[in-house]
Structure 1
Amino acid sequence: MFLLTIFFLWVDLSLPVHSYTLKNGLRVLFYVDTLSPMVSTQVWYRVGSYYEPSGLTGISHLLEHMAFKGSKNYPGDLYSKLILENGGQENAFTSENYTAYWSDLSSDRYELALKLEADRMKNLLLDSLEFESEKKVVMEERRLGENSPYDVMWENFYAVAYLSHPYRTPVIGWMDDLKRIRVSDLRNWYRNYYQPKNAVLILAGRIKPESAIKKVERYFGGIKGKDVPKLSFSEPPPRGERRIKIKKDVKTPLLMIGYRTCDISDPDYFPLEVLEGILFRGRSSRLYQSLVFTKGLVTDIFGGSDIEKDPGIFYFFAVVKETTKIGETEKAIYEEIERLKTDSIPTKELEKVRNQVLADFFFQQDRIRSIAFSLAQWEILLGDYTFFERYPKEISQVKEEDIKRVLRRYFTEDRRTVAILLPEKEEK
């Protein structure tokens, strides 16, 4: 433990990052690692379910699917074929706050990825026949989620936890909206949000910034950009506990409890990260020890903070052994919260957890792609990739009084949402 603490005190996380902004507004970050044989090329757009109005939920995710269905210069699935033929990997994902595309290629071939991503930004075909076919794929994905107990739980929980904020809608969208979305809607969405001013380009790996920026200018500099609407949403302050009970054809009951907290720009984010470690991190964590080993109420329990640009949720998710144990499980969680508010937290426990949080943070950056992910995420959410560098220092400075402060501020009945998923047919 002593050696681990010293290690984290001396880690220098000043990253060799070069940042630029093109004339068209494209934000560009280079992370240089001369030891890596690869370059990860990523383009992140500030668009996801957060930006979707009622009636168009799921359109960002649907556009992500269609972004692999051909452009004016690369028909069909030629994007993917070219990456694979050059020994690379690629994929994409959509969240509440962003849509991201990434590809990993050897350092002598990353220019291909730049060429393809620039083409994706301005030349997608969005063919009507491909659209109808891909929409069926997404709707089937949606149907499969409706049969997943975990997906059902998450979806219903957030729909109750938020009354009006778009965080209440699933990234994949509501089925009725997916059915109604037209290809013209998708084309408008593409034109509005796949803009240089709305994107961050990351290159991470064995690159020379001087030559890399010239390549970026060559492929992206000529794309004319336009302003993107700046959206902000508010949510009524919580004024009492909200509860939902769901019945479904499942064998194991689930319990989810959440408290409305803060966004990631708030200093309280860091004590909440350490609190997550105290409650959930590893088999020696408080709730795992109490609910799994000592009381035998659950087979698993996990949780933590949402990473959101607007105030998110600190959640508890428990797989309860049997329906009759739900009330006892809920009570045991509340008792642990109250205990943390009033009783002192042993210095050794706090030090251990801080080190666990930091260890997980560092180990997550074991690949070039992961570092690029982190830089892009913070640049998109905060407009500040250096959050990545500040995180270890902030975590190492979290004190017991910080944890008690956030517990008292956020973990109250008024800010609480509870969801319970029960088997439709109780076993006799």
Structure 2
Amino acid sequence: MPPRTDLFKSLIAGFFFATALFGARVADAQLVTAQPQVATRTLSNGLHVLVVEDHAAAVVQTAMWYRFGSLYEVPGRTGLAHALEHMMFRGSAHISSGGLDAIVARLGAQMNAETTYDYTHFYFVMPADKLDVALTIEADRMQRALIEESQWRIERGAVLSEIDGDSSSPFFSLLSSVRAAAYPNSSAGLTPLGRRSDVARAQASDIARYYREWYAPNNATLVVTGDVSAQRVFDLAQRRFGKIGSKSLPARPSQHPVAASGKAVESPFPFPYDVVDIAYAIPGDSEPGEPAVSTLATLINNERGPYYRALVESSAALAVTANADTQLRGGLMHVFIVVNPGRTAQEAQILFLNAMKTALSNGFDPELVAAAKRATISERVLDTDSIGGLADLVGYTYGIVGERVSDEDERLAALTTDSINTVARRYLSTPTVIGHLSPNAQPPAGRSQKITAGASDNFSSRVPNGPITMPRLISQEVRAPTNARSKLAPTRFRLANGMTVLWQPRPDRPTVTIRGIIASAAAFEPEGQAGIARLASDVANFGSEGYDFTAQRRAIDALGAQINLGQTFSARGLAKDLDEMLRIVADGEQHPVFPDRYFIQERDQLASSITQEQNISGEAIDRAYLQLLLAPTDPSLRFPTQQSVAQLSRSDMLSYTRRYWRPDLTTMSIVGNVSLAQARNAVNAVFGQWTNYGSTPATHEPALPAPHSAHAYIGTDANNVFIKLGHAVMPRTNPDYDAFTLLSQIIAGPGSFESRLMNELRQKRGLIYNVSSKVSADRDRGDFSIELSASPQNVVPAVRFVRSELLRLQRESVSSSELQQAKTRLVSDALLEEESPGNQLQELLNLARFDLPLNYYATLNDRYQRITAADLERVARKYLHPNAMIEIYAGPQGPWSQRAIL
């Protein structure tokens, strides 16, 4: 199965309290397959070209998969597969490094890459009419990449910084230690980042050798997904790649790595929680035993299963989750247990191992096995909903494993309870390694949340180096505005009870995705009950009047769906199951019961975790900023405390949801392979009788105080200083919002190396590592903020330069090129967001939340084109307040720890 890149997301999200519910149909005669319609062609030089047409959005992704990863490296030259990935962005004689960055920025495109054990994967996402640009770049660097010592001296620092940064992640630190113990003296014992010392002493010639040996058309697969025609892709692929010669490739590693056994590792790290990693050596993706192992991981995660019962329901752990981290041959299944504060890692470890021993002795419940089977297949189907997910599944399966997607689906369908038990007893009887992340109450030194072994990079916002060079063909494409336009054309309807629904068809896949939100205000939480809204959303997933906890999980399992309930709710599944998914969601939203057993469990866990959450530096920074931005009496400053959560009762929860979970505050969006009539009938059938209790409560938030100067400092062990500057601006409904958003993009918009602050502070002066600005606004209020990080000696000049640049924008108009580049970036960003149903759902909800016209996204380009440089100068003078900014500093001490800099 493709390596999952969301290894710890269920742990990270919401500090381990927001858990998706997975399930599977127990008995279904018809196999559901993730197999898409794939058009294939192999060029004469051996390049495999795969095309999957998906016309839901005017977006294309091109992905080049090279069958070369860290396991192919030789001792002493580790980490260089990842270094080579970086050097592929340093340009060629035809397209310079700066030229590549300029292309991406001016098209509003995205470019990224990742290096894993068995492959290196490059991809572009851009408007569909710019397909040839991406293919031209990939063909150029396949044969002419510049891997020179002068370029490597520049890029080596970036690679080493990435290694150091990832090492600051508690989870990556634990995973690396466990893998090293599992495979000592083996390349499998290293993550794809390799040994730092090898990278530090490597020469460009070492990297170029790997490039010459492995980067060839007969060792690559090109995957194109999106709003394209297969024939056009094949024609362009032949034109761009057809003349590149094939190579004689080195022998590939073919041995299964031998794992150690009975190892234990300690990984002390600044983190608020104990985390236990119980790791088992397992077969790889191309070996017998898979996909049974992946199905076992899904089974371990099932909340009706013995592990959740033994650990979470006993309050020994906040979460337990399993995930297979595999390569083609061999790998590890990690079972991560986040220990509840007040309990011990040893206790959690014993509880899990005892539950595993019992399960292996007695065999797994056949119903849970069937659920896990179906869930694993269903998740694969749902993963292909997005253009990116589709490309990942097809690229890895066809290009790296060397089979069809349906081959894996058929093996999954053939699994039985007996075969699952056999595999479990063979591989899960004795842990290979038990790792322990030791907690520390101090704020972490960095903000990294690296959660996977693979080296995944984002080059979209990289600062260019050197001259901008590109072929005439690409230059012409970059100058020409995209013809791609949003395909969002939703229909809005309302139920008699006031519930609003937006529907968008997506007929190309057999799935449907739902997302809803119940509007709220911070003032809804009564004095002394801060945290009640969050707790209500947590416990809503533990049963309703129509479905107790077990029945709810069983029903979700029977659909192979993913459902989450609460103030915000969602569902993903097969389109044919829309009625039943909505029935579960509707009962959960209308009739939550908060059963005592689970209410007490979740309340006590949340209460005990509140203090630990506050010790995470990102949380402390955000809280400090809000305390200075909002009025002292603002209800949003009622932060939950251990006491406020601990004293909540079940009757408090019922009173809260009866009053505030109501149809006239609810908006839901539906995207999928269902007709408008189907959606309308299904929603009305289960939500139509939902009644409102009393008059509609006001959801407006109080206005923000006028922009003002304020300062706060948070001490951490970091070497650099993180800085956040900001002040109040207009709400989302202000007619100047679009113009101010363009202004923010020019100042330091994310993904824009040509922004004012990135160009001046980093490129010209070298004062900062990164900088970004954003506008955060809702219906009633908004704020403008700038975030940057710098070495201590550069903090004062960097912050003062920010102020001077904001002042300059108030007296000088932006250039026409700056304005056009900002427009292109924002239009393209909105367009690329449409590549997945999840993003489309959020855009639909935004239409309703902010009372925007239904053609808002389709007309976005036209509206931006009407905004002039004079408009931006006017909004700069009206809304920017360089001399009245909030300043937050986090890091080592300096003048900023005592006073404001501005």
TM above 0.5: yes
**Equivalent-residue separation in structure 2 for 1:105 and 1:322 (angstroms):** 45
Partner of 1:52: 73
Partner of 1:421: 437
Aligned ranges 1:148-163 → 2 under 5 Å: 148-163=169-184
Contact 1:90–1:103 (CA under 8 A) maintained in structure 2: yes
**Equivalent-residue separation in structure 1 for 2:124 and 2:437 (angstroms):** 39
Q: Which runs of 5+ in 2 are unaligned?
A: 1-21, 443-902
Partner of 1:176: 197
**Equivalent-residue separation in structure 2 for 1:420 and 1:308 (angstroms):** 23
When residues 404 and 4 of structure 1 are mapped into structure 2, their CA distance, relative to the original with a 3 A threshold, is closer
1:318: Cα distance to partner?
1.7
Aligned ranges 1:77-116 → 2 under 5 Å: 77-116=98-137
Question: Which letter does structure 2 place at the counterpart of 1:390?
Answer: D
Deviations 1:113-147 (A, max 9, x none): 11111011111123433321221122122122333
Contact 1:98–1:380 (CA under 8 A) maintained in structure 2: no
1:174: Cα distance to partner?
1.4
Any idea what SS the aligned residue of 2:348 has? helix
Q: 1:383 aligns with which of 402, 415, 420?
A: 402
1:355: Cα distance to partner?
3.0
Contact 2:24–2:372 (CA under 8 A) maintained in structure 1: no
Aligned ranges 1:20-419 → 2 under 5 Å: 20-232=41-253, 234=255, 237-238=258-259, 240-281=261-302, 283-294=303-314, 296-321=315-340, 325-384=344-403, 386=404, 388-413=405-430, 416-419=432-435
1:158: Cα distance to partner?
0.6
When residues 358 and 11 of structure 1 are mapped into structure 2, their CA distance, relative to the original with a 3 A threshold, is closer
1:58: Cα distance to partner?
1.1
When residues 122 and 343 of structure 1 are mapped into structure 2, their CA distance, relative to the original with a 3 A threshold, is same
Question: Which letter does structure 2 place at the counterpart of 1:280?
Answer: N
When residues 175 and 324 of structure 1 are mapped into structure 2, their CA distance, relative to the original with a 3 A threshold, is same
1:301: Cα distance to partner?
2.0
Any idea what SS the aligned residue of 1:366 has? coil
1:8: Cα distance to partner?
8.5
Any idea what SS the aligned residue of 1:293 has? coil
Any idea what SS the aligned residue of 1:131 has? helix
**Equivalent-residue separation in structure 2 for 1:154 and 1:239 (angstroms):** 16
Question: Which letter does structure 2 place at the counterpart of 1:340?
Answer: A
Any idea what SS the aligned residue of 2:243 has? coil
When residues 81 and 284 of structure 1 are mapped into structure 2, their CA distance, relative to the original with a 3 A threshold, is farther
Contact 1:59–1:178 (CA under 8 A) maintained in structure 2: yes
Aligned residues: percent identity? 24
Deviates more, 1:139-148 or 1:91-100: 139-148
**Equivalent-residue separation in structure 1 for 2:359 and 2:77 (angstroms):** 43
**Equivalent-residue separation in structure 2 for 1:361 and 1:117 (angstroms):** 28
RMSD over equivalenced CA pairs, Å: 2.7
1:100: Cα distance to partner?
0.9
Question: Which letter does structure 1 place at the counterpart of 2:432?
Answer: R
**Equivalent-residue separation in structure 1 for 2:364 and 2:213 (angstroms):** 50
**Equivalent-residue separation in structure 2 for 1:169 and 1:264 (angstroms):** 18
Question: Which letter does structure 2 place at the counterpart of 1:290?
Answer: A
1:97: Cα distance to partner?
1.2
Contact 2:183–2:260 (CA under 8 A) maintained in structure 1: no
| TM-score, length basis structure 2 | 0.44
Question: Which letter does structure 1 place at the counterpart of 2:189?
Answer: R
Deviations 1:32-52 (A, max 9, x none): 335553322110111121111
Contact 1:280–1:286 (CA under 8 A) maintained in structure 2: no
Question: Which letter does structure 2 place at the counterpart of 1:403?
Answer: I
| TM-score, length basis structure 1 | 0.89
